[in-house]
Structure 1
Amino acid sequence: MRIPLVQHSTRRRRARYRRVLWSGAEVLVTAGVLVLLLVVHQLWWTNREAREGAERRVEALERAWGAGGGAGPGTGMDAGEGAGPGIGDGSGSGPGDDDGGLDGGPGGGLGRPGGGARDSRPGGTPRSSQAYAVLRIPRLGLRVPVAEGTSRRDVLDKGYVGHYAGTQQPGRQGNFAVAGHRNTHGEPFRRLDRLRSGDEVEVETRNAAYTYVVGRILPRTSPRDTGVIRPVPRSLTRPAYGYDAPGRYLTLTTCTPEYTSRYRMVVWAVLVATRPRG
């Protein structure tokens, strides 16, 4: 009876295969753990961090208003005064980012750059990226700061709602338009699709509280549909949605569907009451 002999070269080849397979398995496990940590960071940690920061900012604003002071340098006047008439330059996030805003060209969202100069604007209007108002939506249990501009880094990723620079300020004739994340980084507009006609939205500044009532909802439009934030808002891609007459409007925009930035959802509201503070 012949006993098969195992050559040393065969043993070495099998040992190399085992090492390759083991190393590949380790790489896959490591990659899986890293992906899991990234998901946890995006879906949990960024939300927790942004929400806590946004809540602290709301409390700071309310303390400053209660003490009779402004929200910081450059806010001696109410935010509703001295607003500019036109749509601002392109800035903020580029296409593909869940920034909740509308693209105004190669630069991304329509708000002016939030990471640029921070000097006060003429008339005491807010500086770029400055939080100066509080947005409340009772149906959603939402209370969030409003900051000037739609920069991801300096506004939206902090869990704030960003005001489209170039649109009007709260309470003024025209369109006060804002954007917010729907997913991650505080996701203040996560449940925006739950709003219904007749729901109230309140915007509070240092000098006054403005109550808007939801009138119309555009479930989906293009990220480049800038008509929805014009002074008299009307969709350019879906003209059946919007308004025809001048008024005092509030526009809320965010990404849709969830976890994508392919389209934008738009909620419009109309000013029904103004209450002076103090």
Structure 2
Amino acid sequence: MRVPVIHQQARRRRARYARLLWNGAEVLVTLGVVLMLLVVHQLWWTNRQAREGAERKVQALEREWEGTGEGEGEGELRGTDVDGGGGSGADGGSVDLGDRSGAGSRRAPASGSAGNPRPRWTQAYAILTIPRLDLRVPVAEGISKGNVLNKGYVGHYPGTAQPGRAGNFALAGHRNTHGEPFRYINRLRRGDRIEVETPAAVYTYVVDRTLAQTSARDGGVIREIPRSTVRTGYGYTDPGYYLTLTTCTPEYTSKYRLVVWGKLGSMRPR
């Protein structure tokens, strides 16, 4: 009867392979858990946190306006020509401002007339309501990701018109994560109402046109007379009272921009 001989070298080699396989499996499981936690954080936690903060801010603005009864007067609120240092951000839903951005400079906002202060950088100063989407969020000055968009707010493009004023009142918002206020603006249809509430009045805009996809650098969509410089058949040719909403598209990417335009329909004092 032959007794099998076990070679120690082969045994050690198999043991090393087994350890490597086990260690590799542990690394893959750990990476999987970390990735899952990151996804949960981005898709659930940031939304919850931003939505709760935005709701609190809306309530705070309403209490402030009811308590003071102060309006913005007849003068125009104006931002300055830059976004307050945050930049438009590739995933913030905003479009490239090009020459409008002030080439990275940061000038202090100029003071307004008496009783009519201009909004400070990142200051929430209006409330945007879209009944079809059951959406009610603060509007803040600037399109900084960290100080505006990531808080679940909608950001006002500096240099564009203010609510109810001649020109183009242009806004940016996240489509995914961080409250994703503009996730479903692709569902808006012509004739839908969009309200912008300030301390002095409620301005009602009516959805007029949609540009399903354009370049992130298409700054024409937020000009005073909005008209795409990429999709030249989209936009307007005459002065008016416009509202522009911009966000990223397709969902979970930041490659292109989705644009919704509206026109001012009515105004009522608070």
Q: Which runs of 5+ in 2 are unaligned?
A: none
Asked if the contact 1:90–1:103 (Cα under 8 Å) also holds between the matched residues in 2, the reply is: no
The letter of the residue matching 1:214 is: V
Question: 2:33 matched to 1:38?
Answer: no
- Distance in 1 between the 2:3 and 2:123 partners? 84
Shift of 1:81: 1.6
Against the structure 1 CA distance between its residues 45 and 80, is the aligned structure 2 distance closer, same or farther, given a 3 Å change threshold?
farther
> 1:128 pairs with 121, 133, 150, which one?
121
Q: Residue type matched to 2:36 in 1?
A: L
How far apart, CA to CA, are the structure 1 residues paired with 2:65 and 2:103? 26
Aligned to 1:24: 24
Q: Is the Cα contact below 8 Å between 2:82 and 2:142 reproduced in 1?
A: no
Structure 2 match to 1:163: 156
Q: What per-residue deviation string (whole Å, max 9, x for no partner) do you get for residues 92-124 of structure 1?
A: 4566x3210002359xx95998xx78x664211
Using a 3 Å threshold, how does the CA distance of structure 1 residues 112 and 11 change in structure 2: closer, same or farther? Answer: same
1:54 paired with 2:47, answer no
The one-letter amino acid of 1:145's match is P
- Is the contact made by 1:91 and 1:111 (CA closer than 8 Å) also made in structure 2? no
| Alpha-carbon spacing, 1:80–1:193, altered in 2? closer, same or farther (3 Å) | farther
Residue number among 253, 258, 264 corresponding to 2:246 in the alignment: 253
AA matched with 1:262: K
Amino acid at match of 1:46: T
What is aligned with 2:2? 2
User: Where do 5+ consecutive residues of structure 1 fail to align?
Assistant: 71-75
| Cα 1:261/1:93, change in 2 over 3 Å | farther
Deviation larger for 5-14 or 213-222: 5-14
TM-score, normalization by structure 2: 0.91
Amino acid at match of 1:100: G
**1:272 maps onto 2:265 in alignment:** yes
Q: What one-letter code is carried by the residue in structure 2 that aligns with 1:241?
A: Y
Counterpart CA distance in 2 for 1:24 and 1:79 is 68
How many pairs align? 265
Contact residue 171 and residue 244 of structure 2 kept, 8 A: yes
Equivalent of residue 76 in structure 2, options 81, 84, 89: 81
Partners of 1:91 and 1:150 within 8 A in 2: no
Q: C-alpha distance in 1, partners of 2:232/2:185?
A: 22
SS at match of 2:205: strand
Letter in 2 for 1:223: A
For residues 5 and 110 of structure 1, the distance between their equivalents in structure 2, rounded to whole angstroms, comes to: 79
What is the deviation of 1:239? 1.4
Change (3 A) 1:110 1:36: farther
Q: Provide the rounded CA distance (Å) in 2 between the counterparts of 1:224 and 1:152.
A: 17
Alignment partners' CA distance in 2, 1:91 and 1:222: 23
Q: What do you get for the CA RMSD once the two structures are aligned?
A: 2.4
**SS of the counterpart of 1:67?**
helix
State the partner residue of 1:73: none
For 1:90 and 1:154, locate their aligned partners in 2 and report how far apart those are by CA, in whole Å: 9
